[in-house]
A and B are shown apart, each in its own frame.
Chain A
Amino acid sequence: QKEVEQNSGPLSVPEGAIASLNCTYSDRGSQSFFWYRQYSGKSPELIMFIYSNGDKEDGRFTAQLNKASQYVSLLIRDSQPSDSATYLCAPLPQRGKFQFGAGTQVVVTP
């Protein structure tokens, strides 16, 4: 079993709707998580960091962490065509060794 699992998609979302992405992890010691966004042909860029149970909101993005159930999710409200990208989940590593999930491709349709 991989340390981090994500549904590869593609997740098709109508413009203006909410996109919901999930990430499950196997290491119960994982305390914090990063969400990266990667546009086609570009390098990943950080969009969210969550380090405690519950929700963290940043603009149209909300990250939710549930340590008991070992999953972290990302909600994108009012989805825009510019949100079409692959979203990568990664736990904060113990010693800097980042391991990523395979990523979920999101396609926002007009």
Chain B
Amino acid sequence: DAEITQSPRHKITETGRQVTLACHQTWNHNNMFWYRQDLGHGLRLIHYSYGVQDTNKGEVSDGYSVSRSNTEDLPLTLESAASSQTSVYFCASSEAGPGELFFGEGSRLTVL
């Protein structure tokens, strides 16, 4: 069965360190998204991609970067982790046309 997987599921890091969260989907979806979820804020869009070599900033992109070198993967990098980036991160994907958004299981990141 097609799926979308995130790793690691839990990560504790220190302020200033670089962190990469992986997202891999086997749906062959063109669209991929990264969201963060914090209490009281719902899901906020960080970055998204409509295909290989395409990346776009979402509403809370500062301090984050993504790259899309193939259809299956959209890794999210925190260049210099800050305590404000402690959150639960969800990766999601959808077909190019209008359609459902499929979510990964989430990655809980704690920055100390």
A: which residues have CB within 8 A of B? 6, 8, 32, 34, 36, 42-46, 49, 88, 90, 92-93, 95-103
Q: Which of B69-112 contact A (CB under 8 A)?
A: 90, 92, 94-96, 98, 100-101, 103-106
Q: Are B42 and A88 in contact (CB under 8 A)?
A: yes
Question: With A43-B103, A96-B50, A96-B96 given, is the CB distance from A102 to B31 under 8 Å?
Answer: no
16 inter-chain pairs at a CB distance below 8 angstroms, sorted by A residue, are A32-B98, A43-B90, A43-B105, A44-B90, A45-B103, A46-B100, A88-B43, A96-B96, A96-B98, A97-B33, A97-B48, A98-B45, A98-B92, A99-B59, A101-B42, A102-B40
Closest to A46 in B: B100
In the complex, the chain A residue whose C-beta lies closest to that of B106 is A43
Secondary structure call for the A interface: loop
The closest CB in chain A to the CB of B30 belongs to A96
Complex Cα gap A49–B98 (Å): 11
Min C-beta distance of A51 to chain B, whole Å:
9
